[in-house]
Amino acid sequence: MFPYYRLNKIFDYVNKKEIASVRDLCNLLNITDRTLRTDIQTINNVLKENGALIKLKRKCGYFIEINDENLYNKFLNNLSQNEKYSIELDSSKDRMKHLLNILLYKNDYILLDDLAEEIFVGVNTLKNYIKSLNDILCKYNLEFISKSNLGIKIIGNEDDKRKCLVESIINNNFQNYITTFSKDEYILFKDIDLYKLKNIIFNNIKNEHIEINDYNLKNLIIHFALMISRIKNDYYINNNFNVTIDDKYKNFINNITKEIENNFNITISEGEKHYIYLHLIANSHIYSQINNDVKIKEIVSELLNTIYSDYNFDLRNDEILLNDLFLHLKSILNTKYLELNKRNPLLNTIKSNFPLAFDITLSCITKTFKNLPYKLTEDEIGYISLHIGASLERCFFGTVKVKNVILICGSGQATTRMLEARINIFFKDKINIVSRMSYNNFINYPKSELINIDFIISTIPIDIDINIPNVIVNFVLKSEDIEEISKLLNKISYNKTKNSLSFFDKNLFIHLNKCTSKNELFDKLFEVMKNNNIIDDEYIMSVMDREKLSKTNMNDVFALPHPIKLCAKKTKVAVAIIDEPVLWSDKESVQIVFLLAIKQGEQQNIEHLYDIFIEIINNSNLQKEILQSYDFEEFISNLYKNIY
């Protein structure tokens, strides 16, 4: 097979053409003709052993000359079967991932010349990659060491190396991560039958009646696969974990490890069993070191009281929220105790699509958790904000239901609750959610139970044959998702109001050619707000405090700065449009800035204002039109025609 993915693309293109021109190939792959010649030579090193060669016809292009038809056809068949294992080296990101993979699976020193040859770059380019990789390794307590005439290697403990491999090489794009195995995963675990492993884990978990959502099940599969892969390469975990296997789960751990040993021809040590148990804890609810239920209930109560006092949203009697927050906080505190920080693959989606819920949660948790020994990460706050957002939408909208629907969501209870709440907002008198379940549970759902189901709403593709209408949606329920559901219901429902435009004001609109800094822009916006008697110095300090907590740019165009507490004299939005992007956070720039001011007691009036913000975040055409708005009237006109 070919050493890296670009060669597959070149070969595939030439193979399908009678003559493939040099210009077309270079344009297709964005490479020079010199690089193309080198690639063709590498391809021919493989082809000459398989009955063919790529040749150049002057002034025409490349073509394939077949010398042995049978040998060549056998090669094509093998190539098709093994394409998922071909390494992509087309971008610097691809090459750095492959480089990291090589080094983390190499215990001895490796020469820079050999490494450069592995990823098809020069030594100077390789040195730049190593500098970038060093920034990644630092996060995992790993480091490079080098010796003259020997080369370099990575040192550190095995647990940190595994964390680095999983988090830096595997892309956990939410939807695809759950439903299939990616090329990165096939390459990293090329000697492992991933579907056999998945069945072993799923069946053992099912037999033990352990509750686990689709996303966490995939996490578990990946960690099992990584364990198998590392053991096969003689890398082992030491038993240095701060946890003892519960007697209730010893048989489960022993049974599943024995089955894996038999199927994958490895020996699993006690240290590896603890590694498995730790990741089972992290991805399920089987373990509780935090036994102070009373204290957790007090934290939940304090959080909801803070939301009520600061934002005037009374969620204190929402029994669903009380239960969900209790269970989620208990799970979070358990992972804190075990020093496990779980990543939130939906964080950016949550912040972009539920900015109101996220900001309420962020500011109130900052107050609630200030005296606790635990400081919640932004990832953890993101999950909690989904529970808060779902409660906000449940408590302020009724739910009269008609059509029977099953809801399939692979990422756990928080996202399922949010999707359920969003569906109930837009289709409150049309949809009855009969059941909420994971994808894996749905596969095994009795067909007799589907008789009275009108259709299925799922966040992940359904790969089995069913005779029930279904629609695949994003869990945040974007406008295109609403439209698809509406088609099934034969009626489109929108819940927007023109009153939101009243929060914008001609005197609070500025369009600038450029701005030298974020602080300069803030000064201009604060000035127009002050001149119109909307804010005072307390508001300005509160905005700057909020900027320190978490970035307020929602994407690479739009930022939504606001205070950490409600302290404005009026509820208004100041708008700044800048022709040249202004640096906002880290290396990220924006061109559209909405400075939000909310008066205490008027929080519930801004629900549809946030709908406008979300539409701007997700609508690139609207962003372009806003950037072309040179006066307030144009700006309002562009908002109106794109939203209402």
Whether residue 174 is predicted with pLDDT greater than 80 in this model: the reply is: no
The two beta strands, 143-147 and 151-155, are: antiparallel
* Rama region for 352: left / alpha / beta (φ>0; ψ in -120 to 50; rest): alpha
Domain boundaries, the chain: 5-85, 92-166, 170-282, 293-395, 403-489, 498-643
Q: What is the DSSP letter of 599?
A: B
Fold of 403-489: Rossmann fold (3.40.50)
Tell me the pLDDT band of 491, cut-offs 50, 70 and 90: very low
Q: 326 burial class (0-12, 13-18, 19+ CB within 10 angstroms)? A: middle
Residue with tokens 């904000």: 385
- CA–CA distance, 432 with 64 (Å, rounded to integer): 60
Among 2.70.70.10, 3.40.50.300, 3.40.140.10, 3.40.930.10, name the CATH number for the domain at 498-643: 3.40.930.10
Name the token pair of 193.
Answer: 């039958």
Calculate mean pLDDT across residues 621-632: 92
- CA–CA distance, 567 with 542 (Å, rounded to integer): 8
Q: 429 burial class (0-12, 13-18, 19+ CB within 10 angstroms)? A: exposed
> Which is more confident, 278 or 586?
278
Beta bridge partners of 55: 63
In which element (H, E) is residue 583 found?
A: strand 572-585
pLDDT of 228: 95
Residue type, position 89, single letter: L
- CA–CA distance, 198 with 217 (Å, rounded to integer): 9
Averaged confidence pLDDT in the chain: 84
3-state secondary structure 21-55: CHHHHHHHHCCCHHHHHHHHHHHHHHHCCCCEEEE
Tell me the pLDDT band of 398, cut-offs 50, 70 and 90: very low
The two beta strands, 504-512 and 572-585, are: parallel
Tell me the pLDDT band of 291, cut-offs 50, 70 and 90: low
pLDDT of 214: 85
In which element (H, E) is residue 404 found?
A: strand 403-408
Residue type, position 498, single letter: K
Give the number of other Cβ atoms within 10 Å of residue 621's Cβ: 9
Task: State which of 50-54, 356-360, 434-438 shows the largest mean pLDDT.
Answer: 50-54
In which element (H, E) is residue 147 found?
A: strand 143-147
**Is the CATH code 1.10.1790.10 the one for domain 293-395?**
yes
pTM of the entire structure? 0.57
Calculate mean pLDDT across residues 257-285: 89
- CA–CA distance, 241 with 243 (Å, rounded to integer): 6
Q: Do 614 and 643 form a contact (C-beta atoms < 8 A)? A: no
Give the whole-number percent of the chain exceeding pLDDT 90: 28
- CA–CA distance, 538 with 569 (Å, rounded to integer): 11
Beta strands in 35-124 (DSSP E): 52-57, 61-66
- CA–CA distance, 172 with 179 (Å, rounded to integer): 11
Which CATH class, in words, describes the domain spanning 92-166? mainly alpha
pLDDT of 13: 87
Model confidence pLDDT, tens digit, residues 590-600: 999 999 998 88
Q: Do 136 and 100 form a contact (C-beta atoms < 8 A)? A: yes
Indicate if 92-166 has the same CATH topology as 5-85: yes
Q: Which of 181, 209, 213, 177 is nearest to 194 (CA)?
A: 181
Q: Which of 401, 185, 433 is nearest to 320 (CA)?
A: 433
CA distances (Å), 300 to each of 201, 282, 324, 473, in order?
A: 34, 22, 10, 31
Residue with tokens 């449940």: 394
Q: Do 590 and 616 form a contact (C-beta atoms < 8 A)? A: no
Whether residue 461 is predicted with pLDDT greater than 70 in this model: the reply is: yes
Q: What is the DSSP letter of 146?
A: E
Give the whole-number percent of the chain exceeding pLDDT 70: 90
Q: 594 burial class (0-12, 13-18, 19+ CB within 10 angstroms)? A: buried
Residue with tokens 């435009």: 501
The architecture in CATH of the region 5-85 reads Orthogonal Bundle (1.10)
pLDDT of 415: 79
Name the token pair of 351.
Answer: 């912040």
Cα Rg, the chain, nearest whole Å? 28
Beta bridge partners of 20: 62
pLDDT of 290: 55
Model confidence pLDDT, tens digit, residues 93-116: 888 888 998 999 988 899 998 888
Model confidence pLDDT, tens digit, residues 131-169: 888 888 988 899 999 888 889 999 999 988 998 988 888
Whether residue 581 is predicted with pLDDT greater than 90 in this model: the reply is: yes
